A and B are shown apart, each in its own frame.
Chain A
């Protein structure tokens, strides 16, 4: 079955950087677009970024554009999120999510358990 396992979260000071990873298994990772979605404490879901299966396309939410970079290594079945210039409002649980099997319908059919990023001095 599909398994997505995030890692790399922790406490970081404002202005510093952090890199999240998401190890994927149970499906052909190189065939699917992958996303990061975050959830601030007690708040709703916010889409962060997407990378196409072949790394050819990357899109970002306005709130992170220019500060965050999504990438992937298909040989390692791993998704990454490089987060620079972190702000207090970036504090959230970060989920990686796999796009659904129906191509071009743009939904998330599998989610990891999330990794908590806390930005605080």
Chain B
């Protein structure tokens, strides 16, 4: 089973700042199989990025994904108030889906 490790656990930033979130896999992951989700308190997760770098429908272009192999990154170019939330990466491999433990982006 591929384990995804997200860092940092918590990111304290101010609105307007840039956020860089990391997701590292224990084995090589196909870029097609890497996705990112946002979860606000009390809400269901929302798809942001699939295929490592493709933005989902309706997602603002301040969100971008990059990476390959075992290292993937979600970047939020300028944080808006609604972006303070928890972010999860997710991968697929060998008929199993796994999530990272999440990164919380909080207001500094």
Contact = CB atoms under 8 A, between A and B. Distances in A.
Interface of A: 35, 37, 44-47, 50, 59, 61, 95, 100, 102, 104-114
Given A35-B97, A50-B97, A107 B88 contact: no
B46 A44 contact: no
Given A105-B32, A105-B33, A47 B102 contact: no
Contacts of A113: 43-44
- Interface size range of chain B in the complex: 20 to 34
A49 B96 CA distance: 9
Given A44-B101, A44-B102, A109 B50 contact: yes
Contacts of A108: 35, 37, 45, 47, 90
A47 B96 contact: yes
A107 B50 contact: yes
B98 interface: yes
Contacts, number: 64
Nearest to B46: A111
Contact of B97 (A47, A102, A109): A47
A105 to B, nearest CB: 5
5 contacts: A47-B99, A59-B96, A102-B51, A107-B35, A107-B47
B44 A44 contact: no
A72 B85 CA distance: 33
Nearest to B35: A107
Given A102-B50, A105-B50, A106-B97, A45 B88 contact: yes
Nearest to A96: B44
